[in-house]
Structure 1
Amino acid sequence: MSSASKPAGSKAQKGGFVLGLIVGLLLGLAVALGVALYITKSPFPFTNKVPQRTAEQDAAEAERNRNWDPNAPLAGKGAARSASGVVNAPAPAPAPAPAASAAAPVAVAAPASGAAPAKASPRADAPPAATAPTPTSATAAVTAPAAAAGDAYVYFVQAGAFTRPEEAESQKAKLAIQGFTAKTMEREQNGRTVYRVRLGPLDTRDAAEELQRKIEGAGFEANLVRVQR
């Protein structure tokens, strides 16, 4: 009796294993079919769902970028340059008016008929007010360099601003061929990244203007830019 039940139990185990294997294969096939249908119906299934730009938007953006010049903010700075760069000394303050030399005379009552007239004591005149000394030309010459020494700015010479980093690197390489060492600085301007090619910083405006003349003499367009320390 026990020997007859053993084959029946082994057959039941084998039948359960085969049934589970068939169910697993069917489930895997259903999942693979669902993934295949999702991929075929969606043109870009693994990309972010972001709104696509239309051709009209691209055309409007290209029209705005056509006339945009990243160097436009520096265009008006060249006309405001000082020709001499010398700080003018302030004009001397006018001297105060001298005080009155003597006070107004005081009326004296007439003496009685029998009394002798009293002699008025002489009153010393008030000393004249001291006048402010007029600054000489030597004093003004000393004041002007002292004002220039306390410059609160550092200066750069900008040799161009570009919207693409490749253009900025090309300009920097051209300057290096002429013997100038420049650096590229990034900045957000009107919502766009601008790559500026600059040389510096320089401590004085005279040194910056001399470097600007050298760069312009080499055939490059240069602008003077000052930045607060």
Structure 2
Amino acid sequence: MARKHFGGTLTGFVIGLLVGLGIALSVAVYVTRVPVPFVDRGVSRKPAQDVEEAERNKGWNPNAGLATSPATVPPPVVIPDPAPAPVVAAPAGSPAAGKPVAPQPATPPTQADPLGELMRSRTGAANGAAPPAGAPAADPFTYFVQAGAFRAPEEAEAQRARLAMLGMAADISEREQSGRAVFRVRIGPFNQKAMADATLEQLEINGVEAALVRVQR
């Protein structure tokens, strides 16, 4: 009984082994005969297939997918021509009549000079007024604007530097007063009292104490 059981097991094992070998052989034959993608494609191709593929790819453009479609192309930008300069007609009868005249560049505005305007208004030069009849030909005095008298020369130098920052040139003169040296800071001389008054007014506007000094010529 044991021998029959052992013989049946051995027989089944052999049959299973043979069946497995047959299946493996069949798979191997199938694999060797079926073309492998990307490897055996060129092996099994025929000349007729190459001709057909060449005809099919004759009009192929590799950059067709990268080209921009006509609908997405931006319209061209048109830059208008600059407007022509206006032509100014010359007066009738002038030599330039009938010929275009180019426009002249605008004259830049002049910078304001408040001190100069004030002086001209005081002297009458701004309005072109002539001196009244019977007035003396010249003023017998010379005028100075004194911006302080100091005991130390350093103080006088500091005052002159302050006036220089305001655009006014001053001189320092030394004089003895009550037995002590005094350093005077003066602007001038002015031949006309109106110019001296304008300078004095300008100093007062800037907070500088000053006085008008008159000297006989």
The structure with the larger Rg is: 2
Q: Report the TM range for the smaller structure's normalisation.
A: 0.3 to 0.5
Whose relative contact order is higher, 1 or 2, with alpha carbons under 8 Å and at least 6 apart?
A: 1
Superposition TM-score, scaled by structure 2 size? 0.39
